Amino acid sequence: MSRLNITSGAPWEEQTGYCRAVRIGNTVEVSGTVSIKNGEVFGKGDAYVQTKQILTIIENALKEAGASITDVIRTRMYLTNIEDWPQVTKAHGEVFRSIKPASTLVAINQLISPEFLVEIEATAVV
């Protein structure tokens, strides 16, 4: 099977040795995604806004891989503050309410920057 790597162009992809998403066959895995826009943290202090931006980034990566948001079968959400769960699940529900992927939501100690409140991974099957 052929492999398609989707990159975001972020400098840390080369440094770390990963890409935004990988498609092999009919499966697309989207890496952990945080809220970035124009190279800056987007939605500082607002878990809902960050989640919406993350899901937009994920949707764009899926499109580039020949998939769509409706192909998502699994999401994994990591929060630095579990009290943000209502805002995160509200944004997640606005995108996935009718799709209903399997999903995980956990609180973690921290992300790469304290300004990131949420990180999300996704798996899609086309």
pLDDT in the model for residue 12: 82
Distance of alpha carbon 74 from alpha carbon 61, whole angstroms: 15
pLDDT in the model for residue 84: 98
Cβ atoms of residues 111 and 80 within 8 Å: yes
Q: Give the burial string for 33-51 (b: 16+ CB within 10 Å, else e).
A: bbbbeeeebbbeebbbbbb
Q: What is the CATH number of domain 3-125?
A: 3.30.1330.40
**Residues of the chain with confidence (pLDDT) below 70:** none
| Domain segments of the chain as ranges | 3-125
Cβ atoms of residues 65 and 23 within 8 Å: yes
Instruction: Name the β-bridge partners of 77.
Output: 105, 120
pLDDT digits over 67-86, tens only?
999 999 999 999 999 999 99
